[in-house]
Amino acid sequence: MLRFRSTVSSSSLAEVAPSVDLQLSISVGRPTAAECVVRMCEGVEALKWEAAEQIRLAAMEKAYAERVRELTRREMEMAQSEFARARQMWERAREEVESAERMKERATARLGSSSSTSSSSAMEITCHSCRQRFRPA
């Protein structure tokens, strides 16, 4: 341990301030084994805490990814069912158009055959759903 005393004369200091005695110690030696163990334990605890924090964050990210995956799967299922329903509606509409075209062809054929046999009798064909008259093309 080193000790230092003020080198200023005590008479000049007494006028300005009370005397100051400094006692400084400088340790250059190696830390003791107990200090090393304490520091090592603190480091180990810090590493354990950091690892636990990383595990917790990874678990949260995994749960989030799983939730996003589940939501995406549900959206895909809904999109597929809507697509199937749209396809069925399109098929039904196509069948109705084909049926209407067949009815039109039959009606046109009847009108053509009836007009050649008797021009005085004319048929009036109306649509059942919209009640409009059929006009052959």
pLDDT in tens, 35-51: 777 777 788 888 899 99
pTM summary value: 0.44
User: CB neighbours (10 Å) of residue 108?
Assistant: 14
pLDDT of residue 20: 67
pLDDT band at 111 (very low <50, low <70, confident <90, very high): confident
